């Protein structure tokens, strides 16, 4: 597996933009299989490389993997697991190479179907029984998952609450804590028989991109099991044993993802009542420069704050839009600009590309009533710009 990641790293560092995007998609797709202890085959890696280099499309790659297992004459003990990992990796890579996203119960189910197409007969079907799962991090205990009779209503409720939530007054720390809480609650419903964490991970990436965040898939590729265990700890409570919900591990993951922090992500630190040698040592609460880290395990000076920008044009545009929805003409008037090309090249296009603004009608860019508004990330920048000018 490490050799495979090394090849992906080379494409990500030195490849053309299209190659970097594909390599990132494949690396995350393969890394997510660790959630269920699965490893992909060498054949899948070779096929992924052909897609990255542009020799075949992602759909052709998926078909080649399908035919490989149909025509395979020799069989190993782990063939079934590798077949699942290979097919699912291909499906996830395709999802990540497309921008489509539907924020709804149907959209959530369609992600599951897209991931497990050709793998599970029950892809996108909600379970019709209650479940429990023995968790290593809970020493064999289980999170209390949603009742099967309430699954659809529970997802609808969580999505509707999030849709109505007002981020405008939150600082970046509060934004991240809220996002972690939302994703944690959605995962706890566990609507599918299998593949809930992989589905939640893909939904998370798609949703955060919709909010304006540029998501680096490395964390999901390299820390997928941590992501799952952090979700478990955020949803586990046992009053009799004196154990409360512990969201800090999941918040650390999201701070690394969204702020570029370098919080320690080790699975053994999450085990309840860990042996002494598995507890987080005091040395990991101090940075290399001797600064004491905050409750998330990082020093503020180490953070590359992705909620801020040095681009003065973007700051001006964000301040102009504020809490409103504005047309292209209204934004140009607000900035006192007359040159359309200049506005597009120096203001609007960079703001959209970097996730500060979004379209009111994203699926119809040329909509006659198209407006532009700030993303969640843009709102945070707007607060910062406004505060600095007071």
Q: For 42-77, how does the pLDDT look when each residue is reduced to its tens digit (9 = 90+)?
A: 999 999 999 999 999 999 999 999 999 999 888 777
**Continuous segment of H or E residues that includes residue 374:** strand 372-374
CA dihedral 213, 156, 175, 332 (to 10 degrees): 50
Q: Which residue has the higher pLDDT, 39 or 296?
A: 39
CATH 3.40.30.10 fits 312-388, yes or no: no
Cα dihedral sign, 313-359-178-238: negative
Confidence of residue 287 (pLDDT cuts 50, 70, 90): very low
pLDDT at 283: 61
Q: Considering the chain, what percentage of its residues have pLDDT values greater than 70?
A: 92
CATH 1.10.3290 range(s) for the chain read 126-306
pLDDT of residue 390: 63
Of 14-28, 56-70, 126-140, least confident by mean pLDDT is 14-28
Per-residue pLDDT reduced to its tens digit, 339-380: 999 999 999 999 998 899 999 988 788 899 999 999 988 988
Please give the sequence-ordered ranges of beta strands (E in DSSP) within 11-95, or none if there are none.
none
Question: Which residue, 361, 363, 376, 375, is CA-closest to 327?
Answer: 361
Closest CA to 362 of 155, 200, 158, 211: 211
Alpha carbons 251 and 294: distance in angstroms, whole number: 12
User: What CATH number has the domain spanning 126-306?
Assistant: 1.10.3290
Q: What is the token pair recorded at 84?
A: 């699942």
d(Cα 69, Cα 266) in Å, to the nearest integer?
35
Q: Is the pLDDT of residue 34 over 50?
A: yes
What are the residue ranges of CATH 1.10.10.10 in the chain?
A: 312-388
Higher pLDDT, 291 or 17: 17
How much is the pTM? 0.83
What's residue 4's pLDDT?
Answer: 43
| Choice between 215 and 39, residue whose per-residue pLDDT is larger | 39
pLDDT in tens, 138-195: 999 999 999 999 999 999 999 999 999 988 888 889 999 999 999 999 999 999 999 9
Residue-wise over 73-110: b if at least 16 C-beta within 10 A, else e? eeeeeeeebbbbbbbbbbbbbbbbbeeebeeebeebbb
Mean pLDDT for the stretch of residues 78-89: 93
Give the DSSP H or E segment for 386.
helix 376-388
Q: Cβ(221)–Cβ(30) under 8 Å?
A: yes
Please check whether residue 314 is in contact with residue 273, taking contact to mean a CB–CB distance below 8 angstroms: no
């Amino acid at each position: 597996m490490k050799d495979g990641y090394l090849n992906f790293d080379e494409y990500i560092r030195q490849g053309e933009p299209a190659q970097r995007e594909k390599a990132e998609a494949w690396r995350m797709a393969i890394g997510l299989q660790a959630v269920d202890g699965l490893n992909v085959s060498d054949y899948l890696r070779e096929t992924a490389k052909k897609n990255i280099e542009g020799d075949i499309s992602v759909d052709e790659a998926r078909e080649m993997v399908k035919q490989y297992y149909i025509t395979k004459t020799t069989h190993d003990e782990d063939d079934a697991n590798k077949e699942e990992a290979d097919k699912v990796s291909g499906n996830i890579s395709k999802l990540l190479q497309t921008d489509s996203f539907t924020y709804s119960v149907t959209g959530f189910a369609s992600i599951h179907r897209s991931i497990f197409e050709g793998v599970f007969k029950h892809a996108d079907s909600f379970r019709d029984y209650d479940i429990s799962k023995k968790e290593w991090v809970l020493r064999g205990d289980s999170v209390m998952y949603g009742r099967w009779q309430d699954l659809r209503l529970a997802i609808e409720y969580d999505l509707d609450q999030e849709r109505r939530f007002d981020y405008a007054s939150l600082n970046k720390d509060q934004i991240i804590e809220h996002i972690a809480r939302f994703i944690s609650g959605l995962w706890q419903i566990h609507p599918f028989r299998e593949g809930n964490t992989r589905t939640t991970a893909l939904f998370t990436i798609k949703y955060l991109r919709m909010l304006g965040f540029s998501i680096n898939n490395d964390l999901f590729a390299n820390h997928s099991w941590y992501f799952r265990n952090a979700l478990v700890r955020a949803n586990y409570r046992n009053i009799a044993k004196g154990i409360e919900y512990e969201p800090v591990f999941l918040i650390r993951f999201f701070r690394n993802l969204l702020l570029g922090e370098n919080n320690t992500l080790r699975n053994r630190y999450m085990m309840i009542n860990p042996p002494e040698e598995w507890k987080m040592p005091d040395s990991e609460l101090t940075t290399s420069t001797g600064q004491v880290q905050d409750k998330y395990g990082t020093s503020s000076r180490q953070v590359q704050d992705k909620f801020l920008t040095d681009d003065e044009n973007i700051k001006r545009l964000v301040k102009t839009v504020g809490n409103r929805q504005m047309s292209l003409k209204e934004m140009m008037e607000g900035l006192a600009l007359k040159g359309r090309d200049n506005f597009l090249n120096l203001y609007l296009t960079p703001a959209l590309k970097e996730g500060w603004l979004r379209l009111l009608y994203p699926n119809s860019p040329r909509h006659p009533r198209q407006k532009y508004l700030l993303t969640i990330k843009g709102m945070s920048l707007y607060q910062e710009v406004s505060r600095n000018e007071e």
